Amino acid sequence: MKRIITYGTFDLLHYGHINLLCRAKKHGDYLIAAVSTDEFNWNSKQKKCYFDYERRKILLESIRYVDLVIPEGSWEQKIEDIKKYHIDTFVIGDDWKGEFDFLKEYCEVVYLERTPEISTTQIKNELNKQN
Q: Give pLDDT tens digits for 59-70.
A: 999 999 999 999
Q: Which of 2, 25, 26, 47 is catalytic?
A: 47
**Cα dihedral 125, 127, 129, 131 sign:** negative
Q: Name the nearest CA neighbour of 19 among 122, 129, 116.
A: 116
Q: Which of 2, 26, 45, 84 is catalytic?
A: 45
pTM for the structure as a whole:
0.89
| pLDDT at 67 (0 to 100) | 98
Our CA angle for 55, 46, 95, nearest 5°, is 85
Per-residue pLDDT tens for 22-50?
999 999 999 999 999 999 999 988 888 88
Has 47 been annotated as catalytic?
Answer: yes
Has 26 been annotated as catalytic?
Answer: no
To 10 degrees, the CA torsion angle through 115, 116, 119, 122?
-160
